[in-house]
Chains A and B, each alone.
Chain A
Amino acid sequence: MVLKVEGLWKSFKTEQVLKDVGFSLQTGEILAIIGRSGSGKTTLLRCINNLVKCDRGSIMVDGIYLCRQVTDANGTKCVYAKGPEQLQIRKRLGMVFQSFNLFPHMSVLENIIEAPVRVFRVPRPEAEEKARRLLAMLELQDKEAAYPFELSGGQKQRVAIARACALNPLVMCLDEPTSALDPELREGIAQTIENLAAQGMGVLLITHDMVFAKRVAHRVIFMEEGEILAEGSKEEFFADINNERIKSFIAG
């Protein structure tokens, strides 16, 4: 188990966005979290990436707690890991944003090696070699000197994946990986995701694209109004839907 989420709660002002969410992700597994916009799936991903702090609950990455729920005399609260531990978690967790968020002032290669070299003190030649291997794997070998504005959407996404892979993460998170892509590029990203999983990463992807989830996921979680309504292997999930709300979602 590379990622375990337990009893996660999160509210913004008066709105309860996550209600007791829990799941786990195995090595090599592709888990798709699906649901409408506003279902809480993006907030869940942001909690896992420590971009927002959850109110209650635990998140564990490769045996290290990002946050854990502690109950003492003063009540229940959520305690976050300290800086060095958080950095260890950062290394194990890759994130590909919906809009990729590449650094526009850096070349493709610089985008990939910046964090390994500056944050994790990997020697530059080593970081560059790793970056070139990733670029070759993602069929971007001739793009290392290009700048993000010179790339197509699909190429930008693969650079974002390469950047997220540079520190050999154990979990790869992708936020709506098909939303910014032309339809004909969907099969390519599906294969890339399968490739990452085959190399032993746990892949967590958030999507409202049912066809894509059906194509690529091993397991599916359906969220609505901050709760997990259904969870199962892809086969179970799509074969045996007896929840009306999920049915209406899948039907579009």
Chain B
Amino acid sequence: MLDYLITLMPAMLSGLEVTLKIFFLTLVFSIPLGILVAVGRLSKIKPLVAVIQVYIWIMRGTPLLLQLIFIYFGLGLPTVGLQLERFTAALIAFVLNYAAYFAEIFRGGIESIDKGQYEAAKVLGFSPVQTFMRIVLPQVVKIVLPSVANEVITLVKDTALVYVVGLGELLRAGRIASNRDVSLVPFVVVGVFYLALTAILTKVFQQIEKRYAYYQ
């Protein structure tokens, strides 16, 4: 049994690598983009608000799988002619999709900040950017942490969708091994990997929440 598990590892680990790459790169790009989208959504520039509302509607209103297919295969059609690399296409789809969800989370957080905080910052001479970066955002981060953690854990599992553009991530590696060996063991291994990742992330978010617990 142990020997069998060891033979599975090279394929599993290379699948894990793809999963982790998609995961981390999506986070790195989608959280800042989500914050920017949230700020735009709350701005008074009406055309911008309208565009963002449509963007969020599409991203939340269609399956991520469909978005992946459109960005990889749809844009690659001869009539459009924008054939992206598999990985790039997958990453763009994930970043756009997750930024929309993060934007809604951050919008809620920003709206929950008392307007007195803005007024206090204003009378002290803070610029709007300073007010946001020094006063609003640090308070928003504390408020949105639980929702962001939720979304991040969902992202771990959503990475399995990139198989549709032909990327060999963790679950795909498991499926190939399972079909080849007519065994469910590879899927059990895959499940353990996902559980380990979620356990680590849960721990990390607990630590971050603890770090923000210094004030109420």
Please report A residues at the B interface, Cβ cutoff 8 Å. Answer: 49-51, 87, 90-91, 93, 95, 97, 99, 101-105, 114-115, 118-120, 147-149, 163-164
Q: Are A51 and B122 in contact (CB under 8 A)?
A: yes
The answer to the question of B85 belonging to the interface, with a C-beta cut-off of 8 Å to chain A, is: no
Contact B123 A119 (CB under 8 A): no
Contact indicator A119/B124 (Cβ below 8 Å): yes
B142–A105 touching, CB < 8 Å: yes
A196 CB to closest chain B CB (Å) equals: 16
Q: Among the listed stretches B38-46, B112-120, B162-170, which one makes contact with chain A, having 4 or more residues with CB under 8 Å of it?
A: B112-120
Q: Flag if B126 contacts A148 (CB, 8 Å).
A: no
| B4 in the interface (beta carbon within 8 A) | no
> Within residues 183 to 215 of chain B, which ones have a CB less than 8 A from any CB in chain A?
214-215
Q: Is B10 an interface residue (CB 8 A)?
A: no
**Which residues of chain B come closer than 8 Å to A104, judged between CB atoms?**
139, 215-216
Spell out B's residues near A (CB within 8 Å).
114, 116-117, 119-120, 122-127, 130, 134-135, 138-139, 142, 214-216
8 contacts between A and B (CB under 8 A): A97-B120, A99-B116, A105-B139, A114-B124, A115-B126, A118-B126, A147-B214, A148-B215
Q: What chain A residues lie within 8 Å of B138 (beta carbons)?
A: 105
A118-B130, A147-B215, A148-B215 in contact; A90/B119 too (CB < 8 A)? no
Query: In the bound complex, how far is the Cα of B124 from the Cα of A50, in angstroms?
Result: 11
| A103: B residues at CB distance < 8 A | 117, 120, 135
Chain A residues lying within 8 Å of B142, measured Cβ to Cβ, are: 105
Q: Is the CB of A119 within 8 A of B215?
A: no
Assembly CA distance A118 to B126 (angstroms): 8
Provide the bound-state CA to CA distance between A95 and B146, in Å: 35
Q: Are A97 and B119 in contact (CB under 8 A)?
A: yes
Smallest distance from the beta carbon of A197 to chain B beta carbons, Å? 20
B134 CB → nearest A CB, Å: 7
Cβ contacts under 8 Å, B215 to chain A? 104-105, 147-149
For the complex formed, measure the closest distance between the CB of A246 and the CB atoms of chain B, giving whole angstroms.
30
B125 pairs with A101, CB closer than 8 A: no
CA distance A216 to B141 in the complex (A): 42
Residues of B within 8 A of A51 (CB): 119, 122-123
